[in-house]
């Protein structure tokens, strides 16, 4: 089993890119810490209740809490799949936890892909995001618009804006990213694992660039 980390600021396109890659290659598995957390919050599990307050303020969920969720998921998987980790690790402490988990599971960290996007573009992307509350499909009012305005292409449910996508929370999330996640760039760069990819332009072009560096 191989692990590829998708690294980038909120709105850099990690989830969208992972979704496109997985749809085209059955050997890839998308593991989103954000989806894991939101599901736990929705079901009001103990971990979800604890995490909800942090997410509403745009703060990082404590390392141990999210690391345990991701570790449980990885350990439950088997086979030769390549896992695309989206949203984890976000701190140096989480990166060290992932090293321990990977070693325990016999998984190899193959590469770390950094999606490079300017802050102004990130804010515009996040402000325009829409999500289906029923099936989880994601859209953007200009970049990935639904076929029928305001409705999910998959199930027809009315699209909503996630509560953590408001402007004030977004700015706080970007500040947190700069302070706590950017150090991972040097951390993985020193290990020869970092692959920097321009995260702007046509979505198909970004997907192709990422596919080339993880092949």
Indicate which residues carry an active-site annotation: 14, 90, 129, 162, 173
Sequence-distant (≥ 6) Cβ neighbours of residue 131 within 8 angstroms: 137, 138, 139, 159, 160, 161, 162
Token code pair at residue 62: 């404590």
Could you give the CA distance from residue 92 to residue 63 in angstroms, rounded to a whole number? 10
Sequence-distant (≥ 6) Cβ neighbours of residue 50 within 8 angstroms: 65
Q: Which residue has the tokens 């009012």?
A: 141
Residue 188 falls in which region: left (phi positive, over 0), alpha (psi -120 to 50) or beta: alpha
């Amino acid at each position: 089993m191989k692990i590829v980390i998708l690294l980038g600021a909120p709105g850099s396109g990690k989830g969208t890119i992972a979704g496109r890659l997985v749809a085209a290659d059955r050997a890839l598995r998308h593991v989103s810490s954000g989806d894991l957390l939101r599901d736990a919050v929705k079901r009001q599990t103990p971990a979800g209740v604890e995490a909800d307050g942090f997410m509403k303020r745009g703060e990082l969920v404590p390392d141990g809490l999210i690391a345990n969720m991701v570790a449980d998921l990885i350990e439950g998987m088997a086979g030769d799949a390549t896992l695309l980790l989206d949203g984890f690790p976000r701190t140096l402490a989480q990166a060290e936890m992932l090293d321990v988990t990977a070693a325990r599971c016999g998984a190899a960290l193959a590469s770390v892909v950094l999606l490079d996007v300017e802050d102004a573009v990130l804010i515009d992307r996040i402000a325009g995001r829409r999500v289906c509350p029923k099936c989880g499909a994601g859209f953007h009012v200009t970049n990935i618009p639904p076929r029928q305005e305001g409705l999910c292409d998959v199930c027809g449910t009315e699209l909503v804006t996630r509560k953590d996508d408001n402007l004030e929370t977004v700015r706080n999330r970007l500040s947190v990213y700069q302070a706590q996640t950017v150090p991972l760039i040097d951390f993985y760069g020193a290990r020869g694992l970092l692959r920097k990819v321009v995260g702007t332009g046509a979505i198909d072009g970004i997907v192709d660039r990422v596919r080339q560096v993880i092949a």
